[in-house]
Amino acid sequence: MSRKDGLSASYVVLDSEDCRSRYGVRLSDSEDWEEIREMLHTISGRTGPCYIILLGGPAVLPVPAVVSVAGSFWYEIRSQEALA
Which domain, by its residues, includes 79? 11-83
Total domains, the chain: 1
| Higher per-residue confidence, 77 vs 42 | 42
In whole angstroms, give the CA distance from residue 14 to residue 8. 19
Task: Confirm whether 39 is domain-assigned.
Answer: yes
pLDDT band at 69 (very low <50, low <70, confident <90, very high): low
Q: What is the mean pLDDT of residues 32-48?
A: 87
Predicted confidence at residue 78, as pLDDT, reads 44
| The overall pTM is greater than 0.75 | no
Task: Confirm whether 2 is domain-assigned.
Answer: no
Q: What is the mean pLDDT of residues 41-51?
A: 87
In whole angstroms, give the CA distance from residue 12 to residue 46. 13
Task: Confirm whether 4 is domain-assigned.
Answer: no
In terms of Cα–Cα distance, which of 13, 41, 10 is closest to 27? 13
Residue 14: burial class (beta carbons within 10 Å; 0-12, 13-18, 19+): buried
| Higher per-residue confidence, 73 vs 29 | 29
Spell out the residues 6+ positions from residue 72 whose beta carbon is closer than 8 angstroms to its own.
none
